[in-house]
Amino acid sequence: MDMFLYLDKDTLLHRLDPRTKLLIMLGSFIVTLIFRYIPMLLGLFIAIILYGYLGKVLSNLKRIRVILIMIALVSVVLWAFAGGGDTQILGPITKEGIVYGVAVAIQFNIMIISGMIFLSSTKIEEISLGLVKLKLPYRGAFAFSTAIRLVPTIVGTAYTIKQAQKSRGLDLDSGSFMHRAKKYIPLLIPTIISVIRGTNVFAMALESKGFGYDRIRTNYLELRFRAIDYILMLLMLVAIAFSIYAKIKFVS
């Protein structure tokens, strides 16, 4: 069971500097949150999908398709009842609420997909070094990259413990939803203990290698901007500036 998100491909997206991809991801967040106009959000959604398609990383979206669908459904249903509006469809459900819920659902899904594309096309080591190049303290960059690295490890540990308990006769599939949920509680203890033990070993390994001994560090990886990086960063900055200008112009 592969728990890691990174897909090792030889594409233009993978060869981009991690700082460029980080700006594109954050820029997509900003532009997405500025507007709630559905046609514009759909255009941005298509652009993000094409961006991921060029990097051949859209296969990872299959792993979160249930989350994307559930977010969309919950958003539409919730805002249909709570969004308010003058055009009533059925009881408290209004047309304006449904439209608003669809817009919010697209916003959330764009941000999730953009983040997934970033993690699917960027190595953890590149993320860490990119943050250091952006003048983030190395300890902070290392902690961030380690957190990303430990998430699939924790999920993998929980999956292994689950399979081990099922092989011993633990039935996790029968009964009502609440009954099945209670069966998962005993799995939390060995999972937490295993994670704490692994974290302790990891900390001892860092200490044995002299982590934090010297403020000056060297890196095996070398990052440098290329022409395509400057072009994409410029386009993203222009898109952000235009979005802010259009929002201010529209509001005023």
SS3 assignment, position 134: coil
240 lies in some domain: yes
User: Is residue 230 over pLDDT 90?
Assistant: yes
52 lies in some domain: yes
Separation of alpha carbons 98 and 90, rounded Å? 12
**Residue in the structure block whose two tokens are 């599939």:** 173
Q: How many domains does the chain have?
A: 2
Instruction: Say yes or no: 151 and 186 in one domain.
Output: yes
pLDDT at 45: 93
Instruction: Say yes or no: 113 and 235 in one domain.
Output: yes
165 lies in some domain: yes
> Tens of pLDDT along 143-192?
887 777 777 777 777 778 888 877 877 777 777 777 777 777 777 788 88
Instruction: Say yes or no: 59 and 112 in one domain.
Output: yes
Task: Give the residue from 122, 177, 108, 142 showing the smallest Cα distance to 6.
Answer: 122
5 lies in some domain: no
Burial of 11 (0-12, 13-18, 19+ CB in 10 A): middle
Confidence of residue 3 (pLDDT cuts 50, 70, 90): low
Instruction: Say yes or no: 58 and 87 in one domain.
Output: yes
User: Is residue 207 over pLDDT 90?
Assistant: no
> Amino acid identity, residue 51?
Y
217 lies in some domain: no
Instruction: Say yes or no: 66 and 174 in one domain.
Output: no
pLDDT at 134: 87
pLDDT at 151: 74
pLDDT at 221: 75
DSSP 59: G
Instruction: Say yes or no: 28 and 91 in one domain.
Output: yes
pLDDT at 227: 93
Instruction: Say yes or no: 27 and 58 in one domain.
Output: yes
Flag the least confident range among 14-23, 73-82, 90-99, 214-223: 214-223
pLDDT at 158: 79
Please give the residue range of the domain that contains residue 170: 137-208
pLDDT at 165: 79
Question: What mean pLDDT do residues 112-128 have?
Answer: 90
Burial of 26 (0-12, 13-18, 19+ CB in 10 A): middle
Confidence of residue 24 (pLDDT cuts 50, 70, 90): very high
Separation of alpha carbons 9 and 171, rounded Å? 39
2 lies in some domain: no
Pick the residue with more confidence: 252 or 46?
46
166 lies in some domain: yes
Pick the residue with more confidence: 231 or 141?
231
SS3 assignment, position 45: helix
Instruction: Say yes or no: 16 and 117 in one domain.
Output: yes
Confidence of residue 129 (pLDDT cuts 50, 70, 90): confident
> Tens of pLDDT along 28-37?
999 999 888 8
Instruction: Say yes or no: 146 and 110 in one domain.
Output: no
> Amino acid identity, residue 166?
K
Separation of alpha carbons 43 and 201, rounded Å? 47
Angle at 227 between CA 224 and CA 230, to 5 degrees: 80
Residue 133: how many CB atoms within 10 A of its CB?
15
Instruction: Say yes or no: 42 and 78 in one domain.
Output: yes
3 lies in some domain: no
Instruction: Say yes or no: 116 and 170 in one domain.
Output: no
Question: What mean pLDDT do residues 73-77 have?
Answer: 90
> Tens of pLDDT along 42-61?
999 999 999 999 999 998 88
Q: Mean pLDDT of all residues in the chain?
A: 84
Instruction: Say yes or no: 114 and 179 in one domain.
Output: no
